[in-house]
Amino acid sequence: MSIQQKKTGPLILLMVNMFIAMLGIGLIIPILPEFLKEFGAGGKTAGYLVAASGLTQFIFSPIVGELSDKYGRKKMIVAGLALFTLSQLLFAFAGEVWMLYLSRLLGGMGGAALIPPMMAFVADITTDEDRGKGMGMLGAAMSLGFVVGPGVGGFLSEVSLRTPLYVSAAVAAVALVLSSIILPETLSKERQLAARAVTAKKENIFKQFVFSAKAPYFVPLLLVFVLTLGLMNFEAIFPLYADASYNFSTKQISVVITVGALVGTVIQAMLIDKILRRFGEVKLISASFLAAAVCMVLLLLSSNFWYVLGISVLFFVFTAIMRPAINTLLSKMAGNEQGFVAGMNNAYMSVGNIVGPAIAGNLFDVHINIPYLFGACILIGGVVLSMIWASRRGIAPAVPAAVQE
């Protein structure tokens, strides 16, 4: 087996499992408005459910990142899929709102056990030169799960409202079995034992945040938080917003999310590596933040289905560029701290997942347009932050090719 095959084989297996896990999440998106109506719940409950998941992600992400350095990536990924399967089953059988919250808390623990080890997994099998391509392929697998998930969820909802939930739990269980059987371990025993041999007492999560604030990769981590906080004002309540403002059906919501995620997947799978090499991570991050903010405002100007679809596709494209760009930048700056930085990456994202949905849900109940205006302002803040950081690092603003010539 060639060296290239040894690298691409594990990555493909990881992508397959990521796809199946994300498929399970995507299945329930289009049914959320009607599902919450069964419990007499609205925007506030939807926001708090997402925030509950973010809370446990926040608590467990740094812990899992460290554990993946000590005991390997595979064990953490398998544990995460087991928790995710249990979470989906509980959501499917929920008869009261507290069961929904418990389900999301378990789901957040599963996400914490999945994402940092998966990112560290990619770092294990790639070099700095092809890191962007590896992160882009992982992001593409995530997006593809969302592409297929909402469409399948909309179709399955014709059988019954809870059918997508049962299928979601089933596909998560399949991902668990596949990971247990065929996913290889990418971290050598020597590196695991070396990490376990470190006797220095590890700081708690709050001290780890303080440590990360002094690290050279602090601003990229802060951009992860800003990005998540802004995006949650789109993602956490979009199904509810589309139902209340546009009067979209479950199928129409499925189409918007499916088409947008499909285009984003194509960008990540086929173009992200070239785009990163052409413009660089920092310049690309600033431009994408700005474009995504503009899309959030434009989304409020018309309820025409095709207009909403077009703007949503653009929004998905720019966010599809942002995520791997920031992840690649962080991975390159992490050095030998891949597990810790991946864990802190997910922790900062989790804080955004706690604050963002809670704010979005409450703002939605005040006025359905406010979450999108607030989200746009937050993303503009990301533009300013990234430009200031780039200036201090001596990275010049992007200049059009025609001007350079």
Residue 401 has pLDDT above 60, yes or no: no
Residue 402 belongs to a domain: no
Instruction: Tell me the helices (H) and strands (E) count for the chain, helix number first.
Output: 18, 0
190-241 pLDDT, tens per residue? 777 877 777 666 666 778 788 888 888 888 899 989 888 887 778 778 888 8
Last residue within a domain, chosen from 139, 174, 202: 202
pLDDT of residue 305: 92
Residue 13 belongs to a domain: yes
Residue 240 and residue 187 in one domain? no
Residue 181 and residue 223 in one domain? no
pLDDT of residue 193: 81
Residue 227 belongs to a domain: yes
Residue 182 and residue 293 in one domain? no
In total, the chain counts a number of residues equal to 405
Residue 131 belongs to a domain: yes
Residue 9 lies in domain: 1-202
CATH of the domain at 214: 1.20.1250.20
pLDDT of residue 203: 65
Residue 217 and residue 166 in one domain? no
Amino acid at site 392:
R
CB-based contacts of 322: which residues, under 8 Å, 6+ apart? Answer: 227, 284, 285, 288, 289, 292
Angle, alpha carbons 271-274-275 (nearest 5°) = 80
Q: What's the number of domains the chain is made of?
A: 2
Last residue within a domain, chosen from 202, 235, 258: 202
Residue 16 and residue 85 in one domain? yes
Distance between CA atoms of 213 and 217, rounded to whole angstroms?
A: 8
On the 0-12 / 13-18 / 19+ scale of CB atoms within 10 A, 366 is exposed
Residue 220 and residue 194 in one domain? no
Residue 149 has pLDDT above 80, yes or no: no
Residue 370 and residue 239 in one domain? yes
For residue 156 the two structure tokens come to: 């399955």
pLDDT of residue 7: 57
Count Cβ atoms below 10 Å from residue 40 Cβ, excluding itself: 8
Distance between CA atoms of 82 and 109, rounded to whole angstroms?
A: 10
Distance between CA atoms of 278 and 202, rounded to whole angstroms?
A: 39
Residue 155 and residue 220 in one domain? no
Residue 182 and residue 285 in one domain? no
Residue 303 belongs to a domain: yes
Q: Which of 222, 219, 216 is nearest to 351 (CA)?
A: 222
Residue 310 belongs to a domain: yes
R_g over Cα of the chain: 20
Last residue within a domain, chosen from 202, 236, 251: 202
Distance between CA atoms of 23 and 69, rounded to whole angstroms?
A: 27
Residue 310 and residue 374 in one domain? yes
Q: What is the pTM of this model?
A: 0.69
Distance between CA atoms of 322 and 271, rounded to whole angstroms?
A: 13
150-202 pLDDT, tens per residue? 777 777 887 888 888 888 888 888 888 888 887 778 777 877 787 777 766 66
Residue 42 and residue 153 in one domain? yes
Exposure on the CB side of residue 324, measured as CA atoms within 13 A: 34
pLDDT of residue 291: 93
Q: Which of 195, 206, 193, 372 is nearest to 295 (CA)?
A: 372
With cut-offs at 50, 70 and 90, classify the pLDDT of residue 9: low
Residue 107 and residue 71 in one domain? yes
DSSP 8-class letter at 187: S
